[in-house]
Each structure stands twice: as structure tokens, then as C-alpha cells.
Structure 1
């Protein structure tokens, strides 16, 4: 399997979006999970408290997909700018903009833009608030290993799905003990696939354009517009 074209990027962008939104949720919103592990809960609260006052966050990340049995070993880089629940995600030549109500997926190679409306009442809608519900109802969590990564102490929290049909064996969330920032997010599949989203650069309170999260159609005069609703 190769991920060298924009069509593959479109297929993986939703997965990336979910991972990024998980990180966004952990960074910007308070956890309401009942403590299954007091130390893990305390650390998550510290992460939230540390970054809750940030007006915006910019992250450069690396996304890795590995499966030894299938001989898959792929790395890609991306960038996301977040403010509240709004974001602009760029990954493998594809850009996804969420303005708080609608998502705009822009694919330059195909000259195509897909527009969809987010329904806050839809339980399947991928939004930060829904990701809180996701953790509350579907996972058990506990403190995992503490690793030294290039001089940084990274504490992992392990989340295990309570759904036996979940294809993931576990999810590991790595937190920098000193900065209380998210370092990485690892998903381990039951069939040996592992995906890792690693934060390479974490910047806060950057000067942003007034139209940072606004889709401007005039910039894409020849693009095909695909409205899903």
C-alpha cells in the first residue's frame, strides 16, 4: 500500500482529523471522566490547566503507519492551527478547514472542494465535545510507562476500549511531564498495525489572520464544489 497521492491522502485525512481532535480535546477542554486511575486523572487535569488559557495553538506533527507483517512503514508530516473548536489541518497536500459549523476539504490535485455541515446533535459527528463523550463511555485508562525521549520525560496513559469489536488493542497518550503538553498519540491495532501522531513543534498564541478559519470560495474559481448537505 502506498500513500503518495492525494486520493490516499483523502482516505487518511479523516483518521488524522480524529487524532488531531483528540489532542485538541485534551488540550482545550476539561475532562469529566470518573477517575479510574487518580494519577492519570491528575496528569490530564494538569495538561488541561496548563493550556486552557492559550488563545490558539499551532502544531507541526509527524504521522507514522507501521505494520511489520504487511511490510508497511510510512511517514508523513502535517500541520494544524487550532482556536477553540475551529481548525485548519494540512496533510499530504490536502487541507481541511472547520469554521465551527462546516468543514471544507480542499484537494488541489483534483481541484475539488467538499463541504459538509456538522450537526451538534449527531452522535457520530466528529467534534471536540463528542470526543469527550467518546472517552467517557468507551474507554478505561491508567498510567503506563515513563520514557526518556531525548532528555524529555514522557509519561504515557493507556486507554483500552470497552467495545470488544474495536479494532484497536489500546491507545497510548504520551505527555511531557515538564511542560504538560501532548507529545504523541499511539494507536495499536489488534492485527499489528500501529499509527503514531508525534508533535514536532508546539506553538501558542500566534498572530492569526481574521480569516484564518474562514473559507473563501473566490480563491478557488475553477474548483468543483461538492456539497454533501
Structure 2
């Protein structure tokens, strides 16, 4: 579950962006303005579907793990496939569906005080980060502008986050999270579709679909 927060963090950056501060340098203002453009674009969509690839790397601990998955989001509802587990939120309850263990866990979404979760993806980013204009890279002909996000609180697990934005489309290209432990987590969007017709059961859990699963209600 701990690694799940990194995927949720990437989703956060797809959907939610901070308000401008009162005292900023010109470069910080540029970062705010770019984030606002991205925010306006993504918030204009009724729903979105994206596929992603990711990597967890820690040289000291000999960790180098690749992952991939997909996510569908509409408002606060989500259906996320991550490392073989489906995370489903219907607007009221979260369902964690682990097919390998044949187990479903049902719970209320975590409160905003518990950290970054899909339940606060539209609000968490409004506070808690200093935004800095960073490098511009050419990635296969695409101009990717990075904004560095530095947590204001000192008790977070991560040191900083780099958010890569495609300057032509104003879409997220990737998210690079550097942990205080030395672990670097990278998420890159492979494809993105918006305002597609969604199946009625996209965000709905039907217990009859999991007849042999152990279903646990936590609250």
C-alpha cells in the first residue's frame, strides 16, 4: 500500500494544481502560471483515462523495479490498476481488489490529514508546496518544462517532486519523486484519452463478480 501513494501522487499532479502565493520571484510566478494552464485544461475534462509506466530505484538498496498500469478518473471517482491490484472509489467507499490473494477490502477513503489520496486530489496541492521553475528538456522532439515542488513540512517522506509538462499540449508528461531515503520514483504517462464514453460499472463494485473472494469491510 505504501507504493500506492506514489501512483496517487502522479494522479494528483494530473488533476490538481496550487494557487499562487503572495510573494514570489519572476521564475516562481512563471511556474504558477504554467501550473494554472495545465490545471484549467485538465479540470475542463469530464473524465480521463491514461496508461503509465513507472520505476522505483534506490542504488544503495539495489532496487530497480519497473511497473505499468492504467487509471480512469471522473471527478473524485477513480478506477486504478496498480501492480496487479485494482483500487476503486465510487464516491462513497474505496474497494481494494487483490486478485492474486482473492481478497477485497472495503473502507471509507482516508481523510485529507492522512496524506495524498484520490479523495483529496482536487485540493491537496493548494497548499504545502513551494514551486520553482526548473529545466527545459527536449524529449524526442517534445519540449518538457519542469517545475520543482518542495514540501513545506519537514516530516514528509519525499525531498522534492519534479513535474514535467509538455509545453505544446499543457499536459503532464512525467512526475519524478525524490525520497529522503534516496529512492527515486518516476511515473511517465504513455497515453491519454479524455471525455470518452464510460461503462456504467466503471466505478461500481459488484460483489457477485467475486464469488470466491474474501471480502472484508473495515468500517
Instruction: Output the CA distance in 1 between the equivalents of 2:204 and 2:165.
Output: 31
Whether 2:21 is the aligned partner of 1:34: answer yes
**Are the equivalent residues in 1 in contact too, given 2:76–2:121 (CA < 8 A)?**
no
Q: 1:223 aligns with which of 205, 209, 213?
A: 213
Q: What is the CA deviation profile of residues 145-196 of structure 1, one whole-angstrom value per residue up to 9, with x for unaligned ones? A: 0000111000000011122233322111110000000111111122321001
Q: What is the aligned partner in structure 1 of residue 136 from structure 2? A: 146
Instruction: Output the CA distance in 1 between the equivalents of 2:16 and 2:89.
Output: 15
Instruction: Output the CA distance in 2 between the equivalents of 1:51 and 1:21.
Output: 11
SS at structure 2 position matched to 1:123: helix
Instruction: Output the CA distance in 2 between the equivalents of 1:133 and 1:12.
Output: 21
Whether 2:56 is the aligned partner of 1:65: answer yes
Q: 2:16 aligns with which of 22, 25, 36?
A: 25
Instruction: Output the CA distance in 2 between the equivalents of 1:147 and 1:123.
Output: 35
Q: What is the CA deviation profile of residues 1-38 of structure 1, one whole-angstrom value per residue up to 9, with x for unaligned ones? A: xxxxxxxxx55234323432342324xxxx43426311
Segments of 5+ residues of structure 2 without an aligned counterpart are none
SS at structure 1 position matched to 2:78: strand
Instruction: Output the CA distance in 2 between the equivalents of 1:62 and 1:192.
Output: 20
RMSD, aligned α-carbons = 2.0
Structure 1 position 126, deviation (Å): 4.3
Q: Structure 1 residues 78-87 or 68-77, which shifts more?
A: 68-77
Structure 1 position 119, deviation (Å): 6.2
**Are the equivalent residues in 2 in contact too, given 1:33–1:135 (CA < 8 A)?**
no
Q: Structure 1 residues 155-164 or 74-83, which shifts more?
A: 155-164
Q: What is the aligned partner in structure 2 of residue 52 from structure 1? A: 43
Instruction: Output the CA distance in 1 between the equivalents of 2:2 and 2:64.
Output: 17
TM-score, scaled to structure 2: 0.89
**Are the equivalent residues in 2 in contact too, given 1:63–1:197 (CA < 8 A)?**
yes
Q: What is the CA deviation profile of residues 33-71 of structure 1, one whole-angstrom value per residue up to 9, with x for unaligned ones? A: 426311111101111222322221111001100112222
Instruction: Output the CA distance in 2 between the equivalents of 1:46 and 1:84.
Output: 18
- Classify 1:158/1:226 alpha carbon distance in 2 versus 1 (closer, same or farther; 3 Å): same
Q: What is the aligned partner in structure 2 of residue 170 from structure 1? A: 160
TM-score, scaled to structure 1: 0.86
**Are the equivalent residues in 2 in contact too, given 1:22–1:128 (CA < 8 A)?**
no
Segments of 5+ residues of structure 1 without an aligned counterpart are 1-9
**Are the equivalent residues in 1 in contact too, given 2:56–2:186 (CA < 8 A)?**
yes
Structure 1 position 198, deviation (Å): 0.6
Instruction: Output the CA distance in 1 between the equivalents of 2:191 and 2:217.
Output: 34
Q: What is the CA deviation profile of residues 82-128 of structure 1, one whole-angstrom value per residue up to 9, with x for unaligned ones? A: 111111001221111011111100011111000011266x5326445
Whether 2:93 is the aligned partner of 1:93: answer no
SS at structure 1 position matched to 2:8: helix
Instruction: Output the CA distance in 2 between the equivalents of 1:192 and 1:127.
Output: 23
